Amino acid sequence: MYARLAGISVAQIYRFRNSAAYRRRNTTYQPTRPTVIRIGERRKPQPRGWPGYLRIDTVHQGDCDGRKGIYHINAVDEVTQWEIVAATPQISELWLIPLLETMLQQFPFAIRGFHSDNGSEFINHTVAQLLDKLLIEQTKSRAHRSGDNGLVEAKNGAVIRKHLGFVHIGAEHAEAVDAFHREHLNPYVNFHRPCAVPVVTVAANGKRRRIYPRWATPFELFQEMPRCQSLLRPGVTLAALEQFAQLQSDTEAALEMQRAKRHLMSRIAKRSA
């Protein structure tokens, strides 16, 4: 018997093992046991026209020769499209929690909801404790529903990739990039860069369709909300926001942001050379 088996080629043995009869009699399977993570509710947020329901995502600035790049954290309000971008060298809890606290404080209105995909940087007990302390509802995207976090993913390309590109930026530059976001990019995006404003229409057959009849800045969209003054965080006034928006024209703010970006990228290029 063993002499007969010795004459069988390896390829023939693999063909036998791939046959349905062999798998039926000799192969056992241990199905994957899913781990239930009871953090965040798996559903799409329903802001009902109120600001403060954030969509958040991570954008990695690439690796190079084994060196990790920085991570951008992008948070966008669903109703007003108010956007806060920050940068961190790592997305571990040590770095991410202080960064999230700083980002939430940069929004002029109270935050009610926090929606992310199922990445472990946001779906963990430390982030859940932070949001619970701030009375912020945490939700996460549903399976096979790519549109659940589509707003922030679109902003990843239209804002972050447009201005920072895809080139590797080392983790050692995270502080400088975060300062650029906080002092130049975020003010420009929220007070001077118009966004397409969606309007949902319903056809006779019940099909919903989004159209974009006009453009407005996130600050203008917030101003249009009823009783917008009452929605602001303590210590923030509508008059102060209006005064800040009028310090520069849209063109002046864009030019200043571009100058700051060129200066930032030249510093990164010199330190990376």
Q: What are the residue boundaries of the structural domains of the chain, listed by start?
A: 41-272
Residue 33 has pLDDT above 80, yes or no: no
Instruction: Domain 41-272: give its CATH code.
Output: 3.30.420.10
Q: Using 50, 70 and 90 to split pLDDT, how confident is the model at 10?
A: confident
> Which distant-in-sequence residues (6+ apart) come within 8 Å of 190 by Cβ?
82, 83, 217, 218, 219
Q: Say what the pLDDT of residue 273 is.
A: 65
Q: Say what the pLDDT of residue 39 is.
A: 85
- Backbone φ and ψ of 52, nearest 5°: 110, 5
Q: Say what the pLDDT of residue 88 is.
A: 96
CA–CA separation, 159 vs 264, rounded Å? Answer: 16
Q: Say what the pLDDT of residue 23 is.
A: 66
Residue 9 has pLDDT above 70, yes or no: yes
Contact yes or no for 173/268 (Cβ under 8 A): yes
Select from 235, 234, 198, 233 the least CA-distant residue to 215.
198
Residue 139 has pLDDT above 90, yes or no: yes
Q: At which residue do the structure tokens 């961190």 appear? A: 88
Q: Using 50, 70 and 90 to split pLDDT, how confident is the model at 78?
A: very high
Q: Say what the pLDDT of residue 70 is.
A: 95
CA–CA separation, 52 vs 114, rounded Å? Answer: 9
